[in-house]
Amino acid sequence: MPYEFEEILETIKMTEIEHFDIRTVTLGISLRDCVDRNIEITKQKIYDKILKYGKNHVKYAKEVEDQYGLSIANKRIAVTPISIPFDHFKRDDFVEIAKTLDKAAEEIGIDFIAGFSALVQKGFTNGERELIESIPYALSQTKRVCSSVNVASTKAGINMDAINLMAEAIKKTAELTKDQNSIGCAKLVVYCNVPEDNPFVAGAFHGISEPEVVLNVGISGPGVVLDAIKSAGKTDLQSLAEVIKRTVFKITRAGELVGRKVAEKHGVPFGIVDISLAPTPAEGDSIADILIAMGVEDVGAPGTTAALAMLNDSVKKAGLMASSSVGGMSGAFIPVSEDQGMIRAVQKGHLTIEKLEAMTAVCSVGLDMIAVPGDTPTSTIAGIIADECAIGMINNKTTAVRIIPAYGKKVGDTVDYGGLLGLAPIMKVSNLSCENFVGRGGRVPAPTGSLTN
Amino acid sequence: MRISEEEIRKLTLEAMSELGERATPELVKKVVEKSVAKIGSAPGKIQSDTFDSGRIILTAFGLDHAGIIAKITQAIADAECDIRDMSQKILDVFFTLIMIIDISNSPKDLKEIQTDMNKIAEEMNIKVFMQHEDLFRFMHRI
């Protein structure tokens, strides 16, 4: 037999018991050729183009699922940052474009379409200002559209004006979607050093250096890593890193296989595998549980950041070995509402925003799916975003903020979105003000690390 | 291009029969090495990363009782699939079976065969998993 008994059983165990699935196959589609002076023609062009490439996306993914007995949790689409080709439009036109994206997504049968985005780390064009202004309306009038804005980078510094605008947009989105627990904010990400090929919605978009159309894949698998760590028992940290690497190596290989197969069916190039450990609200599919299995009492305990750093690094190393096309975020995600263990830790008072912020310095994203009181001042939200951007800018890594100032909610309440977005306990935010700092506006200059040429 | 153990074994046997009485361990080794190098460098034989082998791996588990293999192999024969390899163990009262099946000549696709197997699994009160061999190859072989 060409495979060992144990190897076969291991694979079966991963897919059948440990919730290993491919988290997302995301089809990136360029909309750069959909420009027209007339908004109606533009909308038609956008719709037609997305349908042209995307209409079989769900079908193809399902076929690959059946072929390999491996489930693909999400099928999604990312488009060119809308502000780039459609820079000449005004706020209301952008809302119309968002509705068109929504309609196309509905027609294809996918739950999210991402790319209602702008890249403004160094400054705004007129269109980018209009797009940012349109975000609250776009997100409240659509169901499937996700938005992201990059406000800082190591090369350009931190655009504080953009952060202030985004903080306002977040507050406004929370208000406009207050009937659904401010769900609009769950579809809005503020970035520093955004990757252009990230397949994970809500922060996905089809970067400007990407080809016409491309297929990227995001893998998941915290359950698999958790079980591997548990069965490793009491080993030292080097051996533990080995265990994590071995496991992630295998799931990355499976992810690449699935990605290539789906791309082959589409007849489009395969882009990257994002080897992120992305939790889901399902029990056992949790990053927090991995950290606990590594030995901390609960997430938030001293040592959590070190454990997360090791986990994140092991994931990257294994991924690099397993695939020659690693991209996106590639690391461990620590969203609060989407992870049972994180939710528990917040509810018990073990995990605070401040500790989470420290953890984001060593993991692949940032403050993700954090619900805060609805009356949190706009300047405080801007301050939180600025802190995250600073971590990303100085450390030359991606950081992101997806924060939900849940309208009308206070510390102790929870907001329940159901499904993949999960349940978010409202976290306490410092009452100290940063208004005079963020209110200065302008740009934090790029750090010395930017001068690499 | 990778050459499996099985193929090397086949090459060795071929070399031995061709060499007949002249076959010495050294000579056979030399011939086999030459052939392996030749296959390895044969142009036009390079397979893509996701080369579809047409083989699937069937795994069945459950409490042991009479007729499990009979049922499964009957279904495989009905689907005109070819069993390439098979390994079965009884661990205490548990029955485990692993088969490599070639489905490339079957009129049914993997999904239909899977449906057949699910029926058997229900009937016999066992679990049957079927997955494409590529998945195992990708995960466990570099």
The string of pLDDT tens digits covering residues A129-185 is 999 999 999 999 999 999 999 999 999 999 999 999 999 999 999 999 999 999 999
- Residues B74 and B132 both lie in one domain: yes
The total number of structural domains that make up chain B: 2
Residues 80-99 of B with CB under 8 A from A: 85, 87, 89, 98
Residue B4: pLDDT band by 50, 70, 90 thresholds?
low
B61 and B12 housed in the same domain: no
User: How many A/B residue pairs have CB atoms within 8 Å?
Assistant: 70
pLDDT bucket at A448, cuts 50 / 70 / 90: very high
Q: Using the beta-carbon criterion (under 8 Å), do B135 and A66 form an inter-chain contact?
A: no
Please, what sign has the CA dihedral across residues A252, A257, A258, A259? Answer: positive
Please report the pLDDT score of residue A7 as a whole number: 85
Contact assignment for B50 to A257 by CB distance below 8 Å: yes
Assess whether B99 and B135 both reside in one domain. yes
Q: Is residue B102 part of a domain?
A: yes
3-state secondary structure of A440: coil
Q: Which of A86, A193, A99 is nearest to A131 (CA)?
A: A86
Q: State mean pLDDT over A307-316.
A: 94
Task: Let me know the angle formed at the C-alpha of A382 by A376 and A387, rounded to the nearest 5 degrees.
Answer: 115
Residues β-bridged to residue A425: A414
Q: Would you call B102 an interface residue with chain A, using a CB distance cutoff of 8 Å?
A: no
Instruction: Judge if B64 and B131 occupy the same domain.
Output: yes
Q: Residues B35, B59: one domain? A: no
Interface contact A8-B110, CB threshold 8 A: no
Of A183-192, A277-286, A367-376, B6-15, the least confident:
B6-15
Rounded Cα–Cα distance for residues A75 and A63 (Å) = 12
Under 8 Å between Cβ of A293 and A181: no
Nearest CA in chain A to B139: A250
Which CATH number does the domain housing residue B130 bear?
Answer: 3.30.70.260
Asked if A70 reaches chain B (Cβ–Cβ under 8 Å), the answer is yes
Q: Is the ipTM of this complex over 0.85?
A: no
Cα dihedral A217/A223/A224/A227 (nearest 10): 170
B50 inside domain: no
B33 in any annotated domain = yes
Q: Is B119 contained in some domain?
A: yes
Given a cut of 70, whether residue A95 has pLDDT beyond it is: yes
pLDDT in tens, A35-85: 999 999 999 999 999 999 999 999 999 999 888 888 899 999 999 999 999
Is residue B135 domain-shared with residue B96, that is, in the same domain? yes
B46 lies in a domain?
no
A26-192 in CATH: which number? 3.20.70.20
Task: Give a yes or no: residue B47 inside a domain.
Answer: no
* Contact yes or no for A8 and B59 at CB 8 A: yes
Residue where the block lists tokens 């719709």 = A47
Do B131 and A68 make contact, defined as CB atoms within 8 angstroms? yes
Rounded to the nearest 10 degrees, what angle do helices A126-141 and A160-176 cross at?
20
Instruction: Judge if B66 and B136 occupy the same domain.
Output: yes
Is the predicted pLDDT of residue B44 greater than 50, yes or no? no
In a domain, B76, yes or no: yes
Are B109 and B133 members of one domain?
yes
B112 and B69 co-located in one domain: yes
Q: Which residues are registered as beta bridge partners of A52?
A: none
Q: How far is B5 from chain A (nearest CA, A)?
A: 8
Interface check for B106 against chain A (CB to CB < 8 A): the answer is no
Q: A5 and B50 in contact by Cβ < 8 A?
A: no
Q: What's the whole-number mean pLDDT along residues A102-123?
A: 96
**Residue among B129, B134, B138 minimizing CB distance to A12:** B129
The C-alpha atoms of residue A120 and residue A167 are separated, in whole angstroms, by 14
A12 vs A78, residue with greater confidence: A78
Cα distance from B18 to chain A (closest Cα, Å)? 27
Print the domain residue range for B86. Answer: 55-140
Same domain, B80 and B20: no
B19 plus B66 within the same structural domain: no
Confirm or reject contact between B45 and chain A (CB < 8 A): no
Interface touch B136/A264, C-beta < 8 Å:
no
